[in-house]
Amino acid sequence: MLPFTRPSIDDAERQAVSEVLASGWLASGPRVEALEQGLEDYLGGGVSVRVFSSATGALEAALLASGVGPGDEVIVPAMSFVATANVVVRFGAIPVFVDVDLVSRNLVIENVERALTPRTRALLPVHFAGRGVDLAALYALAEYHDLRVIEDAAQAIGTAVEGRRVGASGNPVCFSFHPNKNMTTIEGGALASNDAALIRRIERIRFHGIERGADGAMDVPEWGGKMNLPDVGAAIGLVQLSRLDGFNARRRQLARRYIERLPNHPALLLPADVPGHSWHMFCVCIDYEMLGTTRAELQQRLQERGIGTGIHYPAMHLFSLYRGYGYAPGDFPVAERIGEQTLTLPLFPAMTDHDVDRVCNALEALLTTEVEA
């Protein structure tokens, strides 16, 4: 069975975990510090990095540290994993959805401009599937309107925009190290920022609001959560980080093979390869209605051929929670089309060229069969 994703774990990661277990220091400690330094070196730009137990925690901390609160509006793309909007609701703020581009699935700057109101406090772009957002235009808009940009780079570790790694600039940028991401710490995430004051506040929020003076005395000046990453996860992350560029290079090779081998079919819409893409996922759109079938039926036929697939993602504004904010079908037609047609094909570094060819051949056969039927 070929799953749509699988983490690349081998003896080096197992040895790193064994060493942490033998050390007796299992919570946040020297491996966490080493991973933070390693990520700072990897991203460049002089940013500081703090790791978290999840990217969701990093986003929550970023919003809280940015002063986002009840009644504030945060602009969010309608196409993303639901955590992107849920973290906004967590602080009583209002997610304001905008439609996305059909091919990149990233937010469109003109849609962001139209969604601005006097209550807009922050912009929360998503680098979908590892394809970078047009950051120059977004930051120019934010600067003009005095808005905070909080980048959801959960899917974009190793992505570059105009030759610069996502996270090397910007304030702040949040990454995920979930097992299905380009590198993993089992569960985990990170926040990168070039703002020293923001980083100090992030450190407090990450761990119970605690602040220590030069003499070691403890104070709690504000609320904080429990979002720290254990050393066991950080030890895995250190090994994964050393392999990340190789992982991403292989992902690019596999994605390009998909683009070359998948059929030119009117019911099939492919993603585009662009410089700097880290290819976290390979998501296509399929017009199931044109084929006279359903996504579930097509997935079942691929499953019977030993090929697993995913759905990334339903349009967020159509979930019950967000319909309660007044959103309805028809509000964001591109995100809705993606949500109805999306299919995630297998993509992970251990795949072979033959695996890609197998998926392409199976999909081509099914597309042809459905059309003829």
Which residues are catalytic, by number? 181
Q: Is 311 helix (H, G, I), strand (E, B) or coil?
A: coil
Q: Is 189 helix (H, G, I), strand (E, B) or coil?
A: strand
- For the sheet containing 268-269, what is the strand order? 268-269, 282-286, 342-345
Q: Residue 120: enclosing H or E segment and its boundaries?
A: strand 120-123
Q: Is 285 helix (H, G, I), strand (E, B) or coil?
A: strand
Tokens of 363: 């999909």
Using CA atoms of 127, 128, 132, 134 in order, give the dihedral in degrees to the nearest 10.
-80
Tokens of 337: 């089309």
Helices 353-372 & 231-261, crossing angle to 10 degrees?
50
Tokens of 199: 């980083």
Rounded distance between C-alpha atoms, residue 204 and residue 42, angstroms: 24
Residue 2 and residue 358 in contact, taking contact as beta carbons nearer than 8 Å: yes
Rounded distance between C-alpha atoms, residue 340 and residue 285, angstroms: 8
CA-based nearest residue to 169, from 142, 206, 204: 142
With a CB cutoff of 8 Å and minimum separation 6, the contacts of 144 are none
**Total Cβ atoms within 10 A of residue 287:** 14
CA-based nearest residue to 314, from 281, 296, 289, 336: 336
For residues 112-124, one letter each, b for 16 or more C-beta atoms within 10 angstroms of the residue's C-beta and e for the rest, the string is beebbeeebbbbb
Residue 54 and residue 187 in contact, taking contact as beta carbons nearer than 8 Å: yes
